[in-house]
Structure 1
Amino acid sequence: MKNLIFTILFIFSFTMIFSQEVEEPKSLVNWLTFEEAIKLYEENPKTILMDMYTDWCGWCKKMDAETFNNPQIANYINTNFYPVKFNAERTDTIEYKGKTYVNLNSGRRSSHQLAQEFMNGRMSYPTIVYIDYEGNVNPVPGFMDVRKIEPLLIYFAERVNKNCNYVDFNRSFIDTFTPDSLTNTDGNVNWLELDDVNTMMDTAPKKILLYINSDFSNGSKIMLAATYKHPVIANYVNKNFYPVKINFDEPDTLKIANNVFINEQKTPGYPNQLSIALLQPDIRMPATVFLDEDFSLIFALKGFFPPSVLERYLEFIGQDLHKTGGDWQKFNDEFKSKLN
Structure 2
Amino acid sequence: MNNLDLLKKFITSILLILFLLIGNNSLSQEIIKPSDVKWYSIEEADSLLKIQAKPLFIDVYTEWCGWCKHMMKTSFAHKGIANYMNRNFINVRFDAETFDTLTFQNKTYTNPGEGNKPKHDLAKFLLNGRYSFPTIVYMGRDKKFYPIPGYKNVSELEPFLVYFAEDLFSSVNLHDFDRYFKCAYKKNFEEKVINAIPDSLRPDTTGNINWYRLAEAEKLSKQTGKLIFLSVYTSWCQSCRISDSTNYRINVIANIINENFIPVKFNAALTENLSFFGKAYKGGTKSGPHELTRAFLKQSFIMPTLLFINNKGQQLTELHGFVPPFSLETILSYFAEKAYTNKKYDDFRKSFKNKIRY
- Settle same-fold status: TM greater than 0.5: yes
1:5 alignment counterpart: none
SS in structure 1 at match of 2:138: strand
Determine the C-alpha separation between the residues in 2 that align with 1:22 and 1:172: 38
**Residues 302, 331 of structure 1: alpha-carbon distance in 2 compared, 3 angstrom cutoff:** same
Map 1:149-160 onto structure 2 (within 5 A): 149-160=157-168
Alignment of 1:124-135 (within 5 A): 124-135=132-143
Q: For residue 139 of structure 1, what is the aligned residue in structure 2?
A: 147
Aligned residue in 2 for 1:338:
355
Give the distance between the partners of 2:36 and 2:238, measured in 1 at CA.
22
1:9-45 superposed Cα distances (whole Å, 9 cap, x missing partner):
xxxxxxxxx99x9543122211001111122122121
Q: 1:189 aligns with which of 195, 205, 209?
A: 209
- Residue 329 (str. 1) matches residue 343 (str. 2): no
Q: 1:42 maps to which residue?
A: 50
Contact 2:88-2:165 within 8 A present in 1 as well? yes
Q: Secondary structure at the match of 1:153?
A: helix
Map of 1:318 onto structure 2: 336
Are positions 1:110 and 2:118 aligned together? Answer: yes
Quote the offset at 1:281 in angstroms.
Answer: 4.9
Q: Secondary structure at the match of 2:136?
A: strand
1:25 aligns with 33
Aligned to 1:70: 78
- After superposition, what is the alpha-carbon deviation per residue over 1:216-275, rounded to whole angstroms, capped at 9, x for unaligned? 11111111111111111111111111101111011112222111111253x4x7310111
Unaligned runs of 5+ in 1: 1-17
User: C-alpha separation between the residues in 2 aligned to 1:23 and 1:136?
Assistant: 33
User: What is the identity, as a one-letter code, of the residue corresponding to 2:57?
Assistant: L
SS in 1 for 2:242: helix
SS in 1 for 2:37: coil
CA contact under 8 A between 2:110 and 2:121: conserved in structure 1? yes
Q: Indicate yes or no: 2:243 matched with 1:223.
A: yes
> Could you tell me the TM-score, scaled by structure 2's length?
0.84
SS in 2 for 1:299: strand
- Give the ranges of 4+ consecutive aligned residues of structure 1 lying more than 6 Å apart after TM superposition: none
2:222 match: 202
Q: Of the candidates 306, 325, 337, which is equivalent to residue 307 of structure 1?
A: 325
1:291 matched to 2:299? The reply is no
Partner of 2:170: 162
Aligned-partner residue type, residue 350 of structure 2: D
Root mean square deviation, CA, Å: 2.0
5 Å-filtered alignment, 1:54-69, equals 54-69=62-77
What is the CA–CA distance in structure 1 between the aligned matches of 2:40 and 2:31, rounded to whole Å? 21
The aligned residue for residue 3 of structure 2 is none
Indicate the residue corresponding to 1:52 in structure 2: 60
Q: Contact 2:218–2:311 (CA<8 Å) still a contact in 1?
A: no
Contact 1:32 1:82 in 2 (8 A): yes
Post-superposition offset of 1:69: 0.7
How many residues are treated as equivalent by the alignment? 319
CA drift of 1:82 comes to 0.4
2-structure distance, mates of 1:52, 1:202: 57
Aligned pair 1:260/2:280, yes or no?
yes
Q: Work out which of the residue numbers 217, 222, 232 in structure 2 matches 1:212.
A: 232
Distance 1:333 1:202, change over 3 A: closer
> Equivalent residue for 2:21?
none
- Of 281, 290, 303, which aligns to 1:272? 290
Which residue identity does 2:95 align to in structure 1?
N
- Find the aligned partners of 1:27 and 1:52 in 2 and give their Cα distance: 16
Aligned to 1:83: 91
Instruction: Give me the TM-score of the superposition, normalised by structure 1.
Output: 0.89
Distance across 2 between alignment mates of 1:329 and 1:97: 37
Q: Shift of residue 96 of structure 1?
A: 2.9
Instruction: Please tell me whether residue 234 in structure 1 is matched to residue 254 in structure 2.
Output: yes
